[in-house]
Structure 1
């Protein structure tokens, strides 16, 4: 089968299309003939080796989520899964391929009316957005800033924050055209990537959901209101400065809260319950998915170049 591996960590050119044996599902697993593969920020972080300690080696098969049809099951898995259209989380590896395996507890049937492309656009990002907002607890009328709103997590967060009754949903993005598209999804104020602009935008925010991280993070911490809550869910711009915590202590009298969120800490049953509800909402048109482009699997490097260039609005999807 065709698959995409990391031959050299770093630039997109380090991705290589290879032929690999078709994997057999192990105990408790299903195998999926993939129809759509999500290209997410976490894939870029892994490819760049931004986060250390993962123990990944050259030849790593990239990808964490795919949708398609179950074609085989492993020991202990009900055979009725065969032939079902599903979304699957494959962990840190395995989705960028014509066939993928996943633990059956990480597989979710697709409702009627939801395409495989929509499933991988929403499957991980929508759940991250949901639990990030749960951690930040924005009350009705409070202001929310979504930093890095043009990605799939940010787009889901904008919609969910607006749906929870936020008084203002501000976003950071790179262009006026993107800003208008974000307004259509529920944003009320549009700022540039540094958090500036928007003459009518709030000076401070009660909640920040941050997908970006990077060197600009301390300046956004400064924008928190008293009792403000900051939740970081990604570091697509790299690690923040090592001393960014001093900004929190400088604002000691504001009683600020800073938190990280990884879905690894959310019980799987809770993730799947929220994901199933979001899939149903999307199938009814009540939660919108935004697809930037659909590319052949062999063009994975092109997809990653677009992410590195910052030109992606929504999610890129690969198809075998």
Structure 2
């Protein structure tokens, strides 16, 4: 089968098509013939080599979520899964393939009217947005700033905050056109990437991180909470906490959030709710573009250039 491997970390050009053996599902696993593969920000972070110390090596196959049809099951798995359309989480890799394996606990049947592309756009992003807002202790009537709102996590966070009764939903984005699209999804204030003019937010959900973290901490209201749910721009400066210390009397809070800390059962319940809402047209899964699996490098170049609004989806 075709797969995409990272031969050299850094540029998207270090990714290449490989011909590998179709895996057999082990005990407790299923084999999914993929119809859609989500291209996430974490894939780009891994490909750049930012997380090299976490054990990623040349030959790594990126991708963490796919959607398709179960075509085989391993020992101990109910055979009724065979032939069903599912979303599947493959872990920290293994998704950019024509046939993917996943633990049966990490799959979810798709509603009838939800496309595979919509599933991989919303599957992980919606869960991160939901629990990221919960991690920030967001409550109805509070103001929220979503930094990096044009990606799939940010788009989900904007919609969820608006639906949950936020007093205001501010966003940072790169163009007026993107701002208009975000307003249609629930944003009430559009800022440039630097957040110029924005201030006094109860909650900031940051998917970008990087050198600007201190300046965004300065935009929190008293008792404000900032949660970093992504590091698309890399790590913040080592002394970023000094911003909070110099504003000691504002009682600010800073936290990171990873869905790895959330029980699979809890994730599954929220994902099922969001899939059902999307199937009813109540939650938008914004697909930027469909590209063939062989063009994964092009997808990453588009992400690196900041061209993507929503999520690029690969199709085998």
Common fold by TM > 0.5 = yes
Q: In structure 1, which of residues 275, 286, 290 is the aligned counterpart of residue 282 of structure 2?
A: 286
Q: In structure 1, which of residues 259, 273, 294 is the aligned counterpart of residue 269 of structure 2?
A: 273
**Corresponding position: 1:245 with 2:241:** yes
How far apart are the structure 1 equivalents of 2:59 and 2:135? 36
Say which is worse superposed, 308-317 or 202-211, in terms of deviation.
202-211
Give the equivalent residue in structure 2 for 1:214: 210
**Corresponding position: 1:186 with 2:186:** yes
How far apart are the structure 2 equivalents of 1:252 and 1:126? 33
Give the equivalent residue in structure 2 for 1:15: 15
Output aligned runs, 1:36-185, within 5 Å.
Answer: 36-185=36-185
Partner SS for 2:53:
coil
Q: Displacement, 1:52? A: 4.0
Structure 1 segments unaligned to the other structure (5+ residues): none
Say which is worse superposed, 51-60 or 169-178, in terms of deviation.
51-60
How far apart are the structure 2 equivalents of 1:290 and 1:191? 20
Partner SS for 1:60:
coil
Partner SS for 2:71:
strand
Contact (CA 8 Å) 2:69, 2:83: kept in 1 or not?
yes
Q: Displacement, 1:53? A: 2.9
**Corresponding position: 1:311 with 2:315:** no
Partner SS for 1:69:
strand
Give the equivalent residue in structure 2 for 1:223: 219
Q: Displacement, 1:138? A: 2.1
Contact (CA 8 Å) 2:147, 2:206: kept in 1 or not?
yes
How far apart are the structure 1 equivalents of 2:140 and 2:209? 26
Q: Displacement, 1:177? A: 0.3
| TM-score (ref. length: structure 2) | 0.99
Question: Residue deviations 1:127-167, cap 9 Å, x none?
Answer: 00000111112222211000000000000000000011111
How far apart are the structure 2 equivalents of 1:154 and 1:235? 13
| TM-score (ref. length: structure 1) | 0.98
Question: Residue deviations 1:105-125, cap 9 Å, x none?
Answer: 000000110000000000000
How far apart are the structure 2 equivalents of 1:140 and 1:115? 31
CA RMSD of aligned residues (A): 0.8
Aligned length: 316
Contact (CA 8 Å) 2:46, 2:52: kept in 1 or not?
no
Structure 2 segments unaligned to the other structure (5+ residues): none
Partner SS for 1:287:
coil
How far apart are the structure 2 equivalents of 1:29 and 1:203? 48
How far apart are the structure 2 equivalents of 1:234 and 1:251? 24
